[in-house]
Amino acid sequence: MGRPPVSVGLLLVSHSARLAEGLRELVEQVVQGRVRIAVAAGSEDGGLGTSAVAISAAVESLAGPDGVLVLMDLGSAVLSAETALELLDPAVRERVRMADAPFVEGAVAAAVEASLDSGLDAVLATAVAARGQGKLG
């Protein structure tokens, strides 16, 4: 793993900053700095909610040729994420995917996949596959 961390970036979008930061802490523990992770969480006034402006800024902070996977805590974040994508430069937007995946399992599994230098679609597929992975086996 000698090359610099140019892998798919992960964006954690949550209604709660504490929830997203907690998940970031967990994911960091798993991938140990191999993957770039950003958080966009909470409303613009600091309460619970999501902000399209914050999401688009976070995507830009991660943007690169390898792309960005966006994970959301609840379906109600999807609208903000979609609005955020509209705010982005089309060249950036086309390298962004939203994952229809569970927030915690999806983020952890996607991070490990990204740490293998897998491409954006493979990281997306791994996140989505987490949907079928029951906790009770």
**Smallest distance from another protein to CB 25, Å:** 11
**Smallest distance from another protein to CB 133, Å:** 4
- 71 and 130 in contact (C-beta within 8 Å)? no
Question: Site residues (CB under 8 A) for another protein?
Answer: 26, 29-32, 105, 108-109, 112, 115-116, 129-130, 133-135, 137
Nearer to another protein, 35 or 59 (CB): 35
Strand order in the sheet with 68-72: 37-41, 9-14, 68-72, 96-99
Nearer to another protein, 4 or 137 (CB): 137
* Angle between helix 52-62 and helix 78-87 axes, rounded to 10 deg: 60
Nearer to another protein, 65 or 137 (CB): 137
For the stretch 54-81, what's the b/e string if a residue is b when 16 or more beta carbons lie within 10 angstroms of its beta carbon? bbbebbeebbeebbbbbbbbeeebeebb
Residue 15 falls in the annotated catalytic set: yes
**Smallest distance from another protein to CB 130, Å:** 6
As given in the structure block, the two tokens for residue 15 are 């209604």
Catalytic residue among 15, 24, 95, 97: 15
Which residue numbers are catalytic? 15
